[in-house]
Structure 1
Amino acid sequence: MTRPPARPATGRAPSPAPGSSWLLRTERTVYAVRLEAGGQWAELAAWGPHGTETGPSALDWSRRTHFLTPADAAPAEYIPSGLRPFTGADLTVRRPDGERGTWWTCTGAEQDGERSLRLEFTDERTGLRATLCYDTVPGTDVVLRRTELANDGDEVLHLEDLDSAAVNVPVQGGARLTYLAGQWSQEFTRHQLDLVRGRFAIGSIQGVPGHAYAPWLAVQDAAHPDSADTPTYGVALAWPGNWHITADAEPGGAVRVRAGRVPHEGAVALRPGATLTTPVLACAFSAGGLDGLGAEWHRYERHLAGERLHRPRKVLYNSWYATEFDVEATGQLELAAIAAEMGVELFVVDDGWFTGRKDEKGGLGDWQPDPAAFPGGTDGAAGLDALIARVRELGMDFGLWVEPEAISPAAQLYADHPDWVYRIDGRPATLVREQLLLDLGRADVQEFVIATLDRLLTAHDIRYLKWDMNRPPTERGRPGAIPPGELDLDAAHVAGYLRVLDHLRARHPHVTVEGCAGGGARIEHATLARTDVVWPSDNTAPLDRLAVQYGYLHAHAPHTMSSWVTDEPGVFDPRPRSLAFRFVLAAAGVLGIGADIRGWSAEQRAEAAGWVARYKDVRDVVHHGRARLIGGPDDATCAVQYDAPDGRRVVVAAWSTGRLDGAPLTPGRPARVRLRGLDPAARYTDHDTGTVYSGAHLLHSGLPLGWSAGHDAELVVLTMQ
C-alpha cells in the first residue's frame, strides 16, 4: 500500500497521487481504501479477512456507464451531491445563492501505521474542507468512521445532508439485510429481508433512536445468508438523536449503506471558520455469520466499558411494579428486607419518591424527597437517609430513579422557568405522559440538571441511578434564539445529554448508571459508552421478553442488558411460564427482580434465592464470555451459550417455547441443543448432575433438555475437565 509522505511544517499533508491506496488492519480483518484515478473521491478496495487486499478488488467494475456518471457507480467512501448527482450522495451543501453542488479533490492524506487514516478533500469554490477519519479499535475487528466538515470560506454553508460515512458491501445476487425493529414493549425484534434492487431505509426523528428501529444493520450475501461461515458486515451509528440508515442496491449489483444524523431543522448552518464532526459510525466484519458479527459487537462494547467492565453488575430489586407511585418508607423497607433474604445486592426506589409525585401529572423537575413518604424531618432528606441507612444495614446498596429531562406543568420548576421547555410561540404544547421536555441543549438547563444530580448523589449515599426518558420532543423550538436560522436543536440536546453523563462519570465514578427511555428508545454506542447497563424494554413478560433479548443480543453485549423477573403477564404472547423461566431469562443479561415479592410464597422466595445464588456464580462468564445464540424464540427450544474467555466453563441458558414431546405417555425424546465452538476432544462435566460429555457429543448430538409442563427452562453449567 502507498504510504504518504510526512506532513509538512505548514500542518497540511501534501496531496496524494491519484490511485494511492491505504490499508487499515484490525485483529483479523483488513480495510483497504484507494483514491480514484482523478483524485476526486476515495473508494473501498477491500474489506474482509487478512489477505483480502491481495488480488483484484471485489468491487471493481467495467467503468462503463449509461445515463450515469462514474461517481454514481463507484464504491465511494464519502462523496458530495455535485460529484454523485443521481444514486445517492452523502453530503449536500447549500450556498447562500441556493447552489447545492460540491466538487472537491483530495488535498491531503495522513496515516498512523495501519491503525488510523485521515483523507482530506477540498472544494476551492465554497471553501468546504472534508476530512474522512478512520480508526481501528484494539482487540476488535471494528473500524470507526466519521467525517469532519470545516468551512474555510467566507460565507455560511448549509449542510442539508451530512452522513457520517458510506459503507460498500460486495454481494452477488442481492443482499440479505438483518435489522432490529418493533414498537414500545416490542423493541429489538429481529427482521430480515432480501434487497435485490431499490432502497431500504430506517431511522427516527423523535429526538432519540426510538422504539421502532435500532441504529444497527447487518448485511450478507443473499445467496448464502444462513451459513455459519457467511461473510457478514455490520454498521452501528453512535448517535442518541435523530438518525437514518439507508441501504441501496446500486447499479452493478453492489450494496451501499449510508448512515448519519438527521437535523431537526432540515439543515445545519456551518459558519466561516467553524468545524462540524459527524457521529461515529462503527463498521464491523465477521467471517462467522450473524453469530460471529454479534461477538464482534460484544467485544467492542466491552472495549467501550473500559475498566468499568470489571465491576460486577449487582443483582437489583426495583420497587416500581410493587408500589408504583405509592412510595413510602415502611413499604419500601418491607420490600428491601425480603429482597435481602433472596441475596439481592442493590435496592432501587423507582418513580414516586419526590414531592408532588402521586401520579403522572406532577413533580417532575422538583427533585426533593417527599417528607410525607420519608418522615423524620422537615424536607424529606433525613427520612430518605434513614431508609438508605436501613437498606445498607441489610447488606444492599441503594439506588434511585430520575427523569432529568422531563418537567411537569404543575411543578414549581415550570412556574419558575417556563422558557426552559421546548416550545413554539403561539402554538399549543402537546403533553405526552402528562409532561413536557426540557431543552437540554441550553447551558442553563444543563447546569440545573448537573446541580440536581450532584446534590442528590452528594447528600445521600446513592450508588445507582436509573436515568429514564418517557417522551420524545414535540413543538421543538427555542423562541428568541439568535440567529434562529442557525439552530441545531437535535445536536444541542445530544451534546447536553452526553455532557451530563460525562459529568456523572467524572464526578461520581462510584455510581452505576442505567440508561432507559420508555424502555429501549435510546440505546446506541454513545449512550453505552457512558452508562453501565441499559433497559431494553418495559415489557417483562416472559415470552415477549425472550424475543426482545434475542434481537438485542445480535447487536449488544450481555453485560449491558438489564433484565428483571416480574409477575407481568404476556402482552403479545400470554402463555404462562414458570418462575424458573423468568429467572433464567433475566440471568441471560444483568439480573434484576421487579415483582411484588410481598405476595410470593415462602417456596417462591426460596426458589428465587437459589436462582440469585446460581446467577452470581456464573455472571462473570455471562458478562465476559463469548455469547452464541442457538435457535430463536420461534423455535421449540431457544438457548444462549456463554463460553468463558479461557474456555474452561460453558454456561447454557435454555428455554422451552414449543409443544412437549408427550413423554411418558408416548416414546418421546428430550430436546437437544447442539452447542458450538467447543473442543471436540475435551470432556465437559455438568455441574448439577455430574454427567460427563465429550465436546464431540455436545457439538454433534447436543445437550439433552427434558422439558415438561413444570420444567420449561434450565441454566446448565459445564466445566472442562
Structure 2
Amino acid sequence: MKSTSYTVALDPSSRWAELVAWGPHGVEDGPSVFTNTGDVHFITEADAAPVEYAPLGLRPFSGADVAVRGGSWWRFDSASSEDGLRLTFVDEVSGLRAVLCYRPVPETDVLTRWVEFTNAGPSPLEFDRLGSAGVCVPTTSGARLTYLTGQWSQEFTRQSVSLPAGGFRMESRFGVPGHAHVPWLAVQDASGGPAYGVSLEWPGSWSIEADVEPSGLTRVRAGRLPSPGPVLLEPGASLVTPAVALASSVDGLAGLASVWHDYDRVLAGARWRRPRPVLYNSWEATGFDVRSTHQLELAKRAADIGVELFVVDDGWFTGRDDDTGGLGDWTPAEPSFGSFVESVRELGLEFGLWVEPEAVSPKSKLYAAHPDWVYRIDGRPLTLIRNQLLLDLGLPAVVSFVKSTLDSLLAAYPISYLKWDMNRPPTERGRPGAPFADLDAEHVAGYLSVLDHLREAHPHVTIEACAGGGGRTDLATVARADVVWPSDNTGPLDRLAIQDGFLLMHAPHLMSSWVTDAPGVFDPRPRSLRFRFVTAMAGVLGIGADLSRWTPEQHAEAASLIEVYKSIRDVIHHGVARVLAGPSEPTAATQYTSEDGDTVVVLAWSTGALTGAPLTPGRSSRVRLDVCPEASYVDAAGARYSGAHLKHAGLPFDWTAAHDADVIVLRRA
C-alpha cells in the first residue's frame, strides 16, 4: 500500500492467522502491539488473540466471524501470494475449505479482504453467520467509534460514541444498505489519534459489530447478513463473501476520509475524470404532471442560467399519473416524446431520465403478465410500500427484462444520464419452489450484473445511484455509478449536515446535490439562495427548484453562481477535500486543494449566531486552513495571506443576515 503496512502471521498452533501490525510503513519492525502476553482464564486462546478470521468452534465466546450449523474447527493448510495473499484453512470433519484473501489496492492505503468457501464434504453446510473479515484495532483506553446514521431524509448524520467496554452493533435487513446506517465504521482510541476504517462492499443486507475486549483491543466484524437464512452450501459448491475495505491514517478522521476518497477514485477508474455536468431535475417543479410543453419551458430557463443537463424524473411513462401505476411499463406516455428530447438537446443540454427498474406497480401491464416475478410467499398477502412491489432480481428472466428495457430506452433516445432509484425494500422475501434460495445474494448479483451491463454496453451514460435518497451508497454501487444521491432532503441546513457525514465516507465527485426551494425538515431556518448554491457546490451541482417561480434577480444570481462553480469544479472533484468545520460550528467550512497544490477553494457557511458587529464590538469568525505555512496566497480581490496566517490564525469571515455563505479562491503566490 502507498504508506501503510498490514502484517499477519500464523499462531504457533497453526489454527488461525493473527494481526501483527497495521499502520505506517515500518510499524511492523518491532514487538507487536497486538500480542497477548498473559494467560487466559474462562476463555480460549483464540478468544484472546488478535484473530483475523475464525469459526465459532475456535472462538466460541468473544465473537466468531463465521458460524456453521453443527460447528466448525479448522487448521492452516497452505499459503500463496497470488494476487495478494491467500491463506487456506481446512476443516477435515465437515469438509469446509476457507481461503482468507487479502489484496492491497495500489496507490492507496486501502486493503481489501474477503473469504472464499468451498464445501469439499459429503453433506450440505448451513451458514448462520457469514462474515467477511475480523479487524483488530489497538485501543488501550477504550474505543471511540464514529459512524453514520439517521433515517429517510436524515441520512449520513455523523455520530460518535466512546466505548470503554462492551459491544456495538449496526445492521440493515432492508435488502439494501438502508437509510438508518451505512456499512462504514471508523475506530480510534478513546484518546483520539490514528483512525482505522471499515467499509463493506455490499448493496444488500449487512452487519457491522465492534467489541472492546478487556485486553486492550477493539475487534470489528463485518459482513453480509444471511437474510433470509441460513445460507446453504451444497457439496462441491463454492461461496465468496463480499469484500471489506480496510483503511487507516495517522491523521485521524480527516486523513481517513482522504484515504476513502482516493479509493473511490480508484474504483471509478477513468470515469473519475469524466466531467459531472450541472443538471436540472424537474421533479420538484412538476411532480407526476410531466407534459412536454411545460418540461421544455423549464429546460429553456435552465439553459439560460448555464445548466448543462436536463433530467426528467418520475412521471414520464405510461400509466404514471400518480404513484399507484406505471412502474414496469417503461414506455413514454406522450407519442411525441422523441421530438421533445431533441428539442431539449437543441438548447445545448444533455438529456437524462429517472428509472426504477427493480419496482413494479400492481396495476401495470408487466405485473398482469408476470405476477410470478415479484417476491412472494404462497398463501401470504403482498405488502405494498409506496403502492409498489419489488421484482425478484435473482430470477434470470427478470434480469434479462431489466437489461433489455434499459437497452431499448438508451437506443431509442439520446439519453446520456440515468437516475436509478429504488423506493422500497423487500417484504415477503420468498420465491415459491425455492425454499433454500439465497435471495439477498441473488438480488445483489442481479443488480450488479445490470449495472455492469450498462457500463459495458453504454459507457457514455452517466449513472446516478439512488434508493429513496441515500439508501444505497455502498462501495460496490459506487464502483459502478458515477454519482450518488445522498438524501431526498434538500433543505439547506439539513443538507449541510448530511453532506458533512457523506464526505467522511465518499469523495465529492460522487455527491449529487441540488439547489431547491424546499425548507429543512429538521432545521427549517431560512437561508439565502447563495447559501443553497454554495452547499450544492460542495459536490456535483444540480438545481431542482421550480425555475418558473424564480424572479429575474434570482435567475441572474443563479447564472453568476453556476459560472463560479464551473470555474472551480475541477478542484472540487479532482482535488483533496477536507471538512474544516462541521455544521455544528458557527462557521462551517470545507476546503478543496488542487492536485498541484496551487489553488485552494474554501466553501463556508454561517450556521450559528452572528457576532453583533457593527452594532456591538465583534471579531471576525475564522477558519484555520490546511495549507503550506511557508507559502503565500492571494484571493480574487488581491488580498495576500501568508500560509502561516491561514493555518494558525485562520481565514476571516464576516457574516450578516444577508451574507450567509461564501466561496473563497486562493492562489499560491
Query: 2-side partners of 1:103 and 1:402: how far apart?
Result: 47
Query: 2-side partners of 1:91 and 1:333: how far apart?
Result: 56
| TM-fit CA distance, 1:88 | 0.8
| TM-fit CA distance, 1:680 | 1.3
Corresponding residue of 1:520: 470
Worse overlay, 268-277 or 179-188? 268-277
**Deviation by residue 1:503-554 (Cα, 9 ceiling, x = unmatched):** 0000000000000000000110000000000000000000000000000000
Query: 2-side partners of 1:681 and 1:231: how far apart?
Result: 26
Query: 1-side partners of 2:25 and 2:271: how far apart?
Result: 31
Query: 2-side partners of 1:530 and 1:103: how far apart?
Result: 37
Q: Does 1:670 align with 2:638?
A: no
Q: Does 1:273 align with 2:236?
A: yes
Task: State the AA in 2 paired with 1:352.
Answer: G
Corresponding residue of 2:487: 537
Corresponding residue of 2:80: 110
Corresponding residue of 2:633: 684
SS in 2 for 1:38: coil
| TM-fit CA distance, 1:54 | 0.9
Corresponding residue of 1:155: 123
Corresponding residue of 1:431: 384
Query: 1-side partners of 2:214 and 2:9: how far apart?
Result: 20
| TM-fit CA distance, 1:405 | 0.4
Change in CA separation of 1:251 and 1:667 when aligned onto 2, cut-off 3 Å? closer
Task: State the AA in 2 paired with 1:473.
Answer: P
| TM-fit CA distance, 1:63 | 4.1
Corresponding residue of 1:716: 664
Task: State the AA in 2 paired with 1:179.
Answer: Y
Task: State the AA in 2 paired with 1:390.
Answer: S
Q: Does 1:79 align with 2:47?
A: no
SS in 2 for 1:559: helix
Task: State the AA in 1 paired with 2:342.
Answer: A
Alignment of 1:334-345 (within 5 A): 334-345=297-308
How does the TM-score come out when normalised to structure 2? 0.99
| TM-fit CA distance, 1:208 | 0.4
| TM-fit CA distance, 1:408 | 0.5
Corresponding residue of 1:609: 559
Query: 1-side partners of 2:518 and 2:127: how far apart?
Result: 47
Task: State the AA in 2 paired with 1:326.
Answer: D
SS in 2 for 1:514: strand
| TM-fit CA distance, 1:629 | 0.8
Corresponding residue of 1:300: 263
Task: State the AA in 1 paired with 2:473.
Answer: I
Corresponding residue of 2:359: 406
Show structure 2 runs of 5+ residues with no match.
none
Q: Does 1:441 align with 2:404?
A: no
Alignment of 1:309-458 (within 5 A): 309-371=272-334, 380=335, 383-458=336-411
Which one of the candidate residues 121, 131, 155 is aligned to 1:187? 155
Q: Kindly, what percent of the aligned residue pairs are identical?
A: 63
Task: State the AA in 2 paired with 1:109.
Answer: A
Task: State the AA in 1 paired with 2:13.
Answer: G
Task: State the AA in 2 paired with 1:684.
Answer: Y
Show structure 1 runs of 5+ residues with no match.
1-25, 372-379
Query: 1-side partners of 2:459 and 2:332: how far apart?
Result: 23
How does the TM-score come out when normalised to structure 1? 0.92
| TM-fit CA distance, 1:682 | 1.2
Is this contact kept in 1: 2:229–2:438, CA < 8 A? no
Corresponding residue of 1:694: 642
Is this contact kept in 2: 1:234–1:283, CA < 8 A? yes
**Deviation by residue 1:631-658 (Cα, 9 ceiling, x = unmatched):** 1111110000001111010000100001
Query: 2-side partners of 1:524 and 1:172: how far apart?
Result: 30
Task: State the AA in 1 paired with 2:73.
Answer: W
SS in 2 for 1:520: coil
| TM-fit CA distance, 1:62 | 2.0
**Deviation by residue 1:482-522 (Cα, 9 ceiling, x = unmatched):** xx2x2100000000000000000000000000000000001
Corresponding residue of 1:558: 508
Query: 2-side partners of 1:32 and 1:179: how far apart?
Result: 26
Query: 2-side partners of 1:396 and 1:720: how far apart?
Result: 35
Is this contact kept in 2: 1:63–1:70, CA < 8 A? no
Which one of the candidate residues 610, 635, 639 is aligned to 1:660? 610
Query: 2-side partners of 1:263 and 1:386: how far apart?
Result: 48
Task: State the AA in 2 paired with 1:695.
Answer: G
**Deviation by residue 1:677-708 (Cα, 9 ceiling, x = unmatched):** x1212111112x21111111111111111100
| TM-fit CA distance, 1:251 | 3.1
Which one of the candidate residues 208, 211, 229 is aligned to 2:179? 211
Corresponding residue of 2:419: 466
SS in 2 for 1:604: helix
Query: 1-side partners of 2:591 and 2:2: how far apart?
Result: 24
Query: 2-side partners of 1:49 and 1:29: how far apart?
Result: 4
SS in 1 for 2:229: coil
| TM-fit CA distance, 1:417 | 0.4
Corresponding residue of 1:137: 105
Which one of the candidate residues 158, 164, 169 is aligned to 1:196? 164
Query: 2-side partners of 1:217 and 1:68: how far apart?
Result: 27
Task: State the AA in 2 paired with 1:456.
Answer: L
Aligned length: 669
SS in 1 for 2:15: coil
| TM-fit CA distance, 1:265 | 2.3
Task: State the AA in 1 paired with 2:72.
Answer: T
Query: 1-side partners of 2:345 and 2:311: how far apart?
Result: 12
SS in 1 for 2:132: strand
**Deviation by residue 1:48-107 (Cα, 9 ceiling, x = unmatched):** 01111011100111241110010111110000011111111111112xxxx2x2111110
Query: 1-side partners of 2:84 and 2:437: how far apart?
Result: 33
Query: 1-side partners of 2:240 and 2:429: how far apart?
Result: 23
Task: State the AA in 1 paired with 2:36.
Answer: W
SS in 1 for 2:343: helix
Query: 2-side partners of 1:317 and 1:585: how far apart?
Result: 16
Query: 2-side partners of 1:82 and 1:574: how far apart?
Result: 53
Query: 2-side partners of 1:490 and 1:470: how far apart?
Result: 17
Is this contact kept in 1: 2:52–2:133, CA < 8 A? yes
Query: 1-side partners of 2:433 and 2:125: how far apart?
Result: 22
Is this contact kept in 1: 2:228–2:429, CA < 8 A? no
| TM-fit CA distance, 1:111 | 1.7
Corresponding residue of 1:629: 579
Corresponding residue of 2:226: 263
